[in-house]
Amino acid sequence: MSRTTQFIQQTDRYSARNYGPLPVVLERGEGCFVWDVDGRRYLDMLSAYSAVNQGHRHPRIMQALRDQAERLTLTSRAFHNDRMGSFLEILCEATGFDRALPMNTGAEAVETGIKVARKWGYETKGLADGDAEIIVCANNFHGRTTTIVGFSSESQYRRGFGPFAPGFKTIPFGDVGALEAAISERTVAFLVEPIQGEGGIVVPPDGYMMRCHEICREHGMLLLNDEIQTGLGRTGKLFCGDWDGTRGDVLIVGKALGGGVYPVSAILADDEVMRVFHPGDHGSTFGGNPLGAAVGEASLGVIVDEGLPARSLDLGRWFAEELRAIESPHIDHVRGRGLMIGIVIKEDSGPARPFCEALMDRGILCNDTHHQVIRISPPLVITREILEETLPVIADVTSGAGVAV
């Protein structure tokens, strides 16, 4: 029995069955490559859903992790630590907001955004307790807590997990008219991803985020901009909202903020919004811990100092054009921004998953999202040469070679 089979059997025996991963067992990673337990090398074209934008085990991030691990790892927020302040200062400077509130996972940061928006709404609009409403988009992905799945439009994310929190209204993504029409005197915020990642790399019309922000301003509500997946260089700008000239009123970041080594997330907002939080209103045992702060500071530093947004822009533009030039009977179209690219497989050609399995057999790891889409989101440190080598393989596989359709 191969080691791969052994590890998969062990996992199948002991783990909850809440995932259906590709049958590859990884044991080592460096830059944009990972190796499996049988010694095969793969190109990582998923980057843990954009949590490894800096590449696996980036030396600067690893050094920050090791240095901090030797000194102090966790204090809780019952005490100050000497790392959180400088991390948040750099995060605020890079994003342009007054204040940051650090958490750990993306879903926790989204929950934090929901809490800050509701409290801000009650204080500024004088709504009766329990009346605050938040508008969200169909086809969204904001995480897996019960509140968040409660406003998902994906039936599997919801089925069996109710009852859900009220106070959310769903509109189509990319439709500013629908946003205006959905607003009532109870609306406190609009929660949106600037590109829907899990929803299938869905890019809204140009100017969408800016128009949404203007509408929010006109109606005295907050734009909650979930950049957990699109942020930190992924789409060819530091934040995807930069394509439209806005980062929203509350910016939600996670994933690559931890550089692929430690969970670090945060929300950012100006004083006028963040002032609604008082001691005891919100918290997390690990949020803002010194180890996460050191890793977060180094992770953000790598994105900025290595110019990864510009790299993503250049490589992404070129690579998407190369993908569009592939003549395949199965590709419907290619979409995305920067190195956040979706290859959409035609409905008639079946789901995207068998194409991802065939790519895996040829040494390229990506995953399928929203049934028909092959997601291409390599680490942003990838080179043009490495990407170039994938093109004949992708052309071959998307023409049907090795695909169990």
Ligand X SMILES: *Cc1c(COP(=O)(O)O)cnc(C)c1O
- Per DSSP, the three-state class of 368 is strand
Nearer to ligand X, 106 or 336 (CB): 106
242 is annotated as an active-site residue: no
Q: Please, what is the minimum distance in Å from the beta carbon of residue 110 to ligand X?
A: 6
Helix (H) or strand (E) holding 120: helix 106-125
Out of 29, 106, 241, 288, name the contact with ligand X by CB under 6 A: 106
The string of DSSP codes covering 130-199 is: T--EEEEETT----SSHHHHHT-S-HHHHTT-------EEEE-TT-HHHHHHH--TTEEEEEE-SSBTTT
Residue 254 as a binder of ligand X (CB under 6 A): the answer is yes
226 is annotated as an active-site residue: yes
Residue 290 as a binder of ligand X (CB under 6 A): the answer is no
d(CA 7, CA 5): 6
Q: Residue number with the shortest CB distance to ligand X?
A: 106
Residue 194 as a binder of ligand X (CB under 6 A): the answer is no
d(CA 270, CA 114): 15
Tokens matching residue 126: 């004088």
Binding pattern to ligand X, positions 204-243, x when CB under 6 A?
Answer: ----------------------x-xx--------------
Residue 354 as a binder of ligand X (CB under 6 A): the answer is no
Nearer to ligand X, 110 or 403 (CB): 110
Residue 195 as a binder of ligand X (CB under 6 A): the answer is no
Residue 143 as a binder of ligand X (CB under 6 A): the answer is yes
Could you say which residues in the range 46-85 bind ligand X, by CB under 6 A?
A: 49
The torsion angles phi and psi of 374, rounded to 5 degrees, stand at -90, 120
Sign of torsion, CA 93 99 102 105?
A: negative
Residue 193 as a binder of ligand X (CB under 6 A): the answer is yes
Which listed residue (97, 141, 168, 277) is catalytic? Answer: 141
Contact of 102 with 286, CB cutoff 8 Å: no
Nearer to ligand X, 288 or 354 (CB): 288
237 is annotated as an active-site residue: no
d(CA 325, CA 238): 28
Residue 179 as a binder of ligand X (CB under 6 A): the answer is no
Contact of 385 with 40, CB cutoff 8 Å: no
Residue 390 as a binder of ligand X (CB under 6 A): the answer is no
What residues are annotated to the active site?
Answer: 141, 226, 255
Give the binding site for ligand X (CB under 6 A): 49, 105-107, 110, 141-143, 193, 197-198, 226, 228-229, 254-255
